[in-house]
Amino acid sequence: MGLLNVDDPLPQYLIVVLRLLAHVGKPVDVERARALLCPPSINGRKVFDRSVSSLAELGVINRDNDVLSPTGPLEVDHDSIVDVLRQAILATENNTRVGEDPSQSGPRDLVRALCWFLTIDPTSAPLGWAEVQTLQPHAIKDELGAPIVNDTRWNPFCSWSSALGFCTPALTGDGGSQRARLTPDCTAAVRRTVLSRWEPGQSLGPSTVLGELRGALPVLPGGSFSTAVGIEPPDTNHAGPSLSFALLRLHDERWIRLEQDDDARSLLYLHDPDQPGFPRTFSSITVLEAPRG
């Protein structure tokens, strides 16, 4: 199993299987699940079987005696399902030797591509396959190959990275299936991670925030997967462009509050595209109640 091969199921299919299991709330016979998701009018048997196999290999579901059951708690809502899928794809046990093993098995192909793509400034123009080809050479360790091997893997990467909250599709494209354009906006993944780890009202220091976010999302610059594939980490307490963009956006959308204390001993440095040599500084991050309306 890989995730970016042309024959691998796209994320929406895996999400549908997980939502079915969450809705039923108990183990489901594989034939019943297939009948519910692939009625006679839909030719989706192969996609269903591949989706189940991928979920089993990721450790998200069990398939015992042709009965499907989740390996952990599942909520029906979309965001919670994506959280489970994201955690499985980024699990250490599913990415052993990601920085040494050039194989495309498991989620390694997607993980290496995310590590590279999240080094790009989100405020730059969205990238399509033509730009990706020119930027990829030597972006990660040469022995691992290109982060995105060929054009047939570009569209699956667009689907997976967007579904998991690491990228945002451009509002307009150039036309043609290979011309999808993408921005490395990881705000959604960062937001869900913040909400899962800290309660509203908590105030956190720079090292805590960066350490926990990179631990939960190791494809971020400075995370363990990112450094393993050969990407230089940002300076101490520097978030890097993609994470800076996410934190500033969460501040603007009132999920968090970035604060500056003149007497702070430690500062968080966020990339400012208007003045790249002079990052914006903050001393703490406070988690806010979820916005309403």
Neighbour-count burial of 197, counting CB atoms closer than 10 A to its CB (0-12 exposed, 13-18 middle, 19+ buried): middle
Instruction: List domains and CATH numbers for the chain.
Output: 11-89 (1.10.10.10)
- pLDDT of res. 177: 46
Residues ≥6 apart with Cβ < 8 Å to 68: 17, 21, 27, 28, 29, 30, 33, 52, 61, 62
pLDDT at 236: 92
Contacts of 75 (CB under 8 A, 6+ apart): 22, 81
DSSP secondary structure of the chain = --SSSTTSPPHHHHHHHHHHHHHH-S-EEHHHHHHHHS-TT---HHHHHHHHHHHHHHTSEEEETTEEEESS---SSHHHHHHHHHHHHT-GGGSTTTTT-----TTHHHHHHHHHHTTS-TTSPPB-HHHHHHH-TTSS-GGG--SS-SGGGHHHHHHHHHHTTS-EE-SS--SSGGG--EE---HHHHHHHHHHH--TT-EE-HHHHHHHHHHHSTTSTTSHHHHHTTPPPPSTTB--HHHHHHHHHHHHTTSEEEE--TT-SS-EEE--TTSTTS-EEESEEEE-PPP--
Q: Residue 187: how many CA atoms within 13 Å on its side-chain side? A: 17
Torsion from C-alpha of 37, 188, 130, 123, nearest 10 degrees = 160
Residues of the chain with pLDDT under 70: 1, 41-42, 172-179, 292-293
| pLDDT score for 192 | 97
- pLDDT (0 to 100) of residue 41: 67
User: What does the pLDDT look like over 105-120, one tens digit per residue?
Assistant: 889 999 999 999 999 9
pLDDT in tens, 33-55: 999 998 776 677 889 999 999 99
Distance CA 66, CA 209 (A): 43
Q: Read off the pTM.
A: 0.94
- According to the model, what pLDDT value does residue 173 have? 54
